Chain A
Amino acid sequence: MPYIQDNEKSIRTPLGRARNHGSAQGGTHHWWMQRITSIALIPLVIWLLSCLDCLLTPSFEQTVMWLNNPFVAVTIALFVIVGFYHASTGIQVVIEDYIHCKSAKITALMLTHFTFFAMAVACLFSLLVINFKTNPFSIPMQEVGIIE
């Protein structure tokens, strides 16, 4: 959309200048998604905080077993999808506020979205590997190569 200088010489009204340029039709999309993801994250992070210890104490075998519980796997997957989306769109706002050089801004935005998207895919893929390469009930984990 061409930017028309708002100088005193112009006799065009603000409405006249805005007309026919259309709108991006997405003015509230980003804001709305940030609200939806915030609300969805409330139960997810409460659950996450309640099992912070799961990162530190369980053994490798216990961790694999735990992640093989469908409730656990699905909850983590939901957190990854919603949380990484909220995070990368959140960082986007921070970048837009503080980086004013256009090329630096676009580079930073792309790097942010690429990085968070790649991390989310790595998490989801790992969950799939953990759940479908192991079967804690019948096949010993050694046989499927998870344990040396």
Chain B
Amino acid sequence: MAKQRPLSPHLQVYKPQLTSMMSIMHRITGFALAVGLIVPTWWLVSVTQGPDAFMQFQEFMRGPVGLSLLAGWAFSLIYHLLNGLRHLMWDTGRGLTLPEVYRSGWLVILGSVIVTAALLYSAYN
């Protein structure tokens, strides 16, 4: 029989915090990036199938769905990259005090928005 230990309250009763939200965002972006690897796979395979298959790929990617997916993938990658650097910093034992965790957190959010905006701006112009 399981012991009747007190259980931690359900997730829903916790106030959302920057730290927990960024943590789950790392997981969500990682998952989205992994699923998104289907795009470069399709791209490379389409090149081996000749110009028609390749045009089909490009038509899809240039359409509204393709462009939104690409923009979402780019943002996910930039967030995951910057927050991943934050993880790697923590692994060396640095930046673990609460004020530092919040500072690096806001830095990652700000950085992701700015870098993504700059990238999309330069790509679409």
Contacts and interface: CB of A to CB of B under 8 A. Distances in A.
Interface string B87-125: 110010000000000000000000000000001000100
B44 interface: yes
B58 interface: yes
Interface string A117-142: 00100110011011001000000000
A142 to B, nearest CB: 11
A41 B81 CA distance: 9
A76 B44 CA distance: 10
A49 B30 CA distance: 16
Question: How large, as a class, is the contact surface on chain A?
Answer: 35 or more
B84 interface: yes
A56 to B, nearest CB: 6
A67 B43 CA distance: 12
Given A39-B88, A42-B85, A84-B37, A94 B31 contact: yes
Contacts, number: 90
B51 A60 contact: yes
A147 interface: yes
A52 B27 contact: no
Given A39-B88, A91-B34, A119-B38, A147 B51 contact: yes
B114 to A, nearest CB: 14
Given A60-B54, A90-B30, A53 B48 contact: no
A45 interface: yes
Interface in A19-36: 35
A5 to B, nearest CB: 9
A49 B51 contact: no
A119 B43 CA distance: 12
B18 interface: no
Contact of B45 (A35, A52, A56, A122): A122
Interface of A: 35, 38-39, 41-42, 45-46, 48-49, 52-53, 55-56, 60, 63-64, 67, 76, 80, 83-84, 87-88, 90-91, 94, 116, 119, 122-123, 126-127, 129-130, 133, 146-148
Q: Which 7 pairs across A and B sit closest by C-beta, in order of nearness?
A: A87-B34, A126-B44, A60-B51, A129-B48, A119-B41, A60-B54, A126-B48
21 contacts: A38-B88, A42-B84, A42-B85, A45-B81, A52-B70, A52-B119, A55-B43, A63-B54, A67-B44, A83-B37, A91-B31, A91-B34, A94-B31, A116-B34, A122-B45, A126-B44, A126-B47, A130-B47, A133-B48, A147-B51, A148-B52
